[in-house]
Amino acid sequence: MLFGRRKRKPIKIPQKDVAEWKYTTCNYCSTGCAIEIGLDNDGKLVTSRGVADADVNRGKLCIKGLLEHDLFDSPGRGSEPLLRSSIHKGFETVSWDAALDKTAEKIKEIQAKYGRDSFAVVSTGQLLTEEFYTLGKLVRGCIGTNNYDGNTTLCMASAVSGYKRSFGSDGPPGCYEDFEHTDCFMAFGSNLPEQHPIIYWRLKEAREKRHFPMIVIDPRVTMLAQWADIHLPITPGTDTVLLNSMMYVIINEGLQDNAYIEAHTTGYEEMKAVVMDYDPKSAQKICGIDEDTIRHVARIYAKADSAMSIWTMGINQSTHGSDGVCSINNINLITGNIGKPGGTSLSITGQCNAMGTREWSSCSGLPGYRFLENEEHREQIADFWGIDSEFFPEKVGLKQTDIFPAIETGQIKGLWLVATNPLTSMANQARIRKAMEGLEFVVVQDVYEDVETVEYAHAYLPASVWAEKEGCHTNTERRVNITRNTLPSYGNSKPDFQIFNEMSTRFENSKKIVFPATPEGAFNEMRELSKGQGRTLDISGMTYDKIETARGIQWPFSEDTEDGELKGAQRLYTDGKFQTPNGKANLIPVRFFNNNECPDDDYPFWLNSGRIVEHFHTRTRTGKIGNINKFSPTPYMEINPDAAAELGIESMQYVRILSRRGDAIVMAQLTQRVSRDMVFIPFHYHDCVNRLTLGLLDPYSRQPAFKQCAARIELIDQKEAAKLNLERRTF
């Protein structure tokens, strides 16, 4: 097959001889596309394709999904467990028993010497749900440390926190089909065409059939903003001001839904009192959107028969992340836009199974959205697992972003990192490196042995990837989908599920707790735990075969669902009943305070960061796939042409960008997408943007503000820049 324009060199895609197709779910982003991977007659993976009858993607995939089959034998795969006595010495290849014995011995030694919580575990949003559940069982039930978190604190913690504060529980209430019903669509800090291309395609298709207004709030002219009817280039970090001001207009003009407010919410008067301080005349000076536009979008949103809001990291990665989510929920509650077709607050999740970890990993509580703070919940899980409920702590321990400061102060002495790479992903890298040096024992469990964090590891456990394993993901719209085990594990690597199971046998409580031998066994435990507890998260009616037949099922899907029915609930809270003690949603008063590091004379640019379509997170996978990496192998920075001219910067020239934390070398890309006082750098590259970021934390979610800090730019000798980038391994 040939395509491409005539005078350009065409890309040639060779024909593939596929003997068998196997069903899986994409292992990159949270869209949850169903993929079939094609094996040839020798059982070798040769191609990937979207599943045509899967409702999520309807046969389509983005570039990452299309080339996902290339990752199985990509460079840097870990094939053998490794151990070393010091990070200054080389690794030795060891047996699995030796690596697991040593790791368990060191965990116990550190806990005996410094206390149970002195050993921390940080996992990911990339494992399969059964693996999360098993890891939670191991950490909460056997190891017994309370300092256990997922890297989802870097991406979705504010959404979780905001949902819990407003609705009494986590769980996105809407679905992709809402695009087909909505009369007004508003997106905050969400660049769907690059971050979630297939969700964007669903939105675009819905708008082609029936035009409805699209309002995009983003400091940058993103691809989504380019398609918007109205783009609001907001001052970074001030979304709560805009939302309060929109609600000021709605309430003062009597556009709120009084019947819904009365029947289904509490706290209206308190919230209204705060909102009345945000008249558009005053608000415009803070959020940078003129008063007429604030009134205009408020009226459009409130007058629509149904209106929906989506958001991603532009809201979550802020010191006001949790408040921002509550504000979005507030505006939807006072306009009666929760739980109805086209009316919702839909957080667009980041990683493929960030939802799975939220639901079942026990990171932020206990399985199935249970709370450690709730005695009944502790007893339910302790009884089910067969241990004493006193073994559980009574409140959640440190989040990932608090674990690193606790390493600095000596509170934490050992760390187990599972499929996460803080040496690239955490803000203020110089501080993270220093903290890592202070640990007595670090174990890294990852698919790749060349992941940057392995530099600090004493033990490395090679994990299998994606279709080398079997289990489920949950996507952004609460759809559980399955990945079938298609290939044997690479080398001597093992599925994370098996690693956790084998590790558990080295701890005393494993004599009491049963760890099922298969992922399906763990899934059945989760089904049992989700049954009829009055919570929304009910998967008791699902089985692996039903999930595959339906191409994914949304929860809740209870065991009472009629035989043959394969469709779960599309929306939550359709009856206006929430997961709070009184069944009503909370309207939360939100006040803005400006604690961002804003541009000044010394550091005159806002530094913004985000994702680009061809890469995923810290490029551990996409950086290894040639046909993906070639689109953007070099760290770059978007800068406005006027700002570049003032500084004497030309297109494609290397520059040094500096903040109060450090510096990075990037290639300048001149574009009007960013304003004159802002630059944007993709966050994927090692030793790049997170050398600069400050990462102040949200007080509720502990999520870092990756997107708001100040920077300045200097010219640099081009040869020196290229040399520095090579030394820092940013390419």
CA distances from 531 to 61, 134, 556 (A): 34, 19, 10
> How many Cβ atoms are within 10 Å of 234's Cβ, its own excluded?
21
The whole-angstrom separation of Cα 712 and Cα 677 is 10
Q: Which is nearer to ligand SF4, 197 or 519 (CB)?
A: 197
Whether 318 contacts 155, CB under 8 Å: no
Closest distance of CB 111 from ligand SF4, Å: 39
The whole-angstrom separation of Cα 709 and Cα 707 is 7
Q: Which is nearer to ligand SF4, 144 or 197 (CB)?
A: 197
Closest distance of CB 197 from ligand SF4, Å: 5
Q: Which is nearer to ligand SF4, 37 or 271 (CB)?
A: 37
Closest distance of CB 291 from ligand SF4, Å: 38
Fill in the DSSP letter of residue 142.
I
Q: Which is nearer to ligand SF4, 58 or 546 (CB)?
A: 58
Q: Which is nearer to ligand SF4, 193 or 237 (CB)?
A: 193
The whole-angstrom separation of Cα 112 and Cα 336 is 54
Closest distance of CB 57 from ligand SF4, Å: 6
Q: Which is nearer to ligand SF4, 61 or 135 (CB)?
A: 61
The whole-angstrom separation of Cα 344 and Cα 332 is 7
61: contact with ligand SF4 by CB under 6 A: yes
Residue 113 is inside which H or E element, if any? helix 96-114
Closest distance of CB 54 from ligand SF4, Å: 10
Binding footprint of ligand SF4, residue count (CB under 6 A): 14
Closest distance of CB 128 from ligand SF4, Å: 15
Whether 612 contacts 720, CB under 8 Å: no
Q: Which is nearer to ligand SF4, 393 or 471 (CB)?
A: 471
Among 24, 39, 49, 64, which residue interacts with ligand SF4 (rule: CB under 6 A)? 64
Enumerate residues 19-48 that contact ligand SF4 by CB under 6 A: 26, 28-29, 31-33
Among 51, 62, 160, 308, which residue interacts with ligand SF4 (rule: CB under 6 A)? 62
Q: Which stretch binds ligand SF4 (CB under 6 A): 37-45, 190-198, 326-334, 413-421?
A: 190-198
Closest distance of CB 262 from ligand SF4, Å: 41
Q: Which stretch binds ligand SF4 (CB under 6 A): 62-70, 234-242, 293-301, 601-609?
A: 62-70
The interface mask with ligand SF4, positions 497-536, x = CB under 6 A, is ----------------------------------------
Q: Which is nearer to ligand SF4, 323 or 468 (CB)?
A: 468
Closest distance of CB 58 from ligand SF4, Å: 11
196: contact with ligand SF4 by CB under 6 A: yes
Q: Which is nearer to ligand SF4, 60 or 399 (CB)?
A: 60
Closest distance of CB 350 from ligand SF4, Å: 10
The whole-angstrom separation of Cα 226 and Cα 133 is 41
137: contact with ligand SF4 by CB under 6 A: no
Q: Structure tokens of 731?
A: 């390419």
CA distances from 439 to 87, 404, 405 (A): 10, 10, 12
* Among 293, 277, 276, 291, CA closest to 217: 293
Q: Which is nearer to ligand SF4, 196 or 413 (CB)?
A: 196
The whole-angstrom separation of Cα 420 and Cα 429 is 15
SS3 of 181-213: the string is CCCEEEEECCCHHHHCHHHHHHHHHHHHHCCCC
197: contact with ligand SF4 by CB under 6 A: yes
Closest distance of CB 329 from ligand SF4, Å: 25
The whole-angstrom separation of Cα 76 and Cα 369 is 36
Fill in the amino acid letter for 553.
I
696: contact with ligand SF4 by CB under 6 A: no
Among 23, 38, 55, 65, which residue interacts with ligand SF4 (rule: CB under 6 A)? 65
Count CA atoms within 13 Å of residue 552 on its CB side. Answer: 30
Closest distance of CB 218 from ligand SF4, Å: 20
Closest distance of CB 10 from ligand SF4, Å: 24
Q: How many residues make up the chain in this entry? A: 731
Residue 503 is inside which H or E element, if any? helix 496-504
The whole-angstrom separation of Cα 430 and Cα 408 is 12
* Among 354, 331, 355, 332, CA closest to 344: 332
Closest distance of CB 380 from ligand SF4, Å: 34
Enumerate residues 351-390 that contact ligand SF4 by CB under 6 A: none
Report the C-alpha dihedral over residues 257, 262, 268, 269, rounded to 10 degrees: 110
Q: Which is nearer to ligand SF4, 196 or 231 (CB)?
A: 196
198: contact with ligand SF4 by CB under 6 A: yes
Q: Which is nearer to ligand SF4, 332 or 474 (CB)?
A: 474
Q: Which stretch binds ligand SF4 (CB under 6 A): 71-79, 191-199, 297-305, 680-688?
A: 191-199
Closest distance of CB 225 from ligand SF4, Å: 19
Contacts of 27 (CB under 8 A, 6+ apart): 68, 126, 352, 465, 466, 473, 483
Angle between helical axes of 321-334 and 157-167 (0-180°, round to 10)? 40
The sign of the torsion formed by the CA atoms of 204, 206, 209, 213 equals negative
CA distances from 245 to 74, 280, 291, 305, 554 (A): 50, 6, 9, 21, 35
Q: Which is nearer to ligand SF4, 58 or 535 (CB)?
A: 58
What is the number of the residue whose Cβ is closest to ligand SF4?
65
Q: Which is nearer to ligand SF4, 202 or 527 (CB)?
A: 202
Q: Which is nearer to ligand SF4, 31 or 540 (CB)?
A: 31
Closest distance of CB 50 from ligand SF4, Å: 7
Closest distance of CB 426 from ligand SF4, Å: 23
186: contact with ligand SF4 by CB under 6 A: no
Fill in the amino acid letter for 454.
V
Closest distance of CB 423 from ligand SF4, Å: 23
DSSP reduced 3-state for 20: strand
DSSP reduced 3-state for 275: helix
Q: Which stretch binds ligand SF4 (CB under 6 A): 120-128, 192-200, 257-265, 510-518?
A: 192-200
Whether 578 contacts 171, CB under 8 Å: no
Residue 663's φ and ψ, nearest 5 degrees, are -135, 165
Closest distance of CB 66 from ligand SF4, Å: 7
Q: Which is nearer to ligand SF4, 164 or 684 (CB)?
A: 684
Contacts of 324 (CB under 8 A, 6+ apart): 158, 162, 188, 239, 240, 243, 311, 315, 316, 318
Q: Which stretch binds ligand SF4 (CB under 6 A): 118-126, 195-203, 332-340, 712-720?
A: 195-203
Enumerate residues 288-327 that contact ligand SF4 by CB under 6 A: none
Burial of 334 per CB tally in 10 Å (0-12, 13-18, 19+):
buried
Q: Which stretch binds ligand SF4 (CB under 6 A): 125-133, 193-201, 292-300, 690-698?
A: 193-201
Q: Which is nearer to ligand SF4, 147 or 351 (CB)?
A: 351
CA distances from 534 to 353, 556, 581, 583 (A): 24, 11, 12, 11
Positions in the binding site for ligand SF4 (CB under 6 A)? 26, 28-29, 31-33, 57, 61-62, 64-65, 196-198
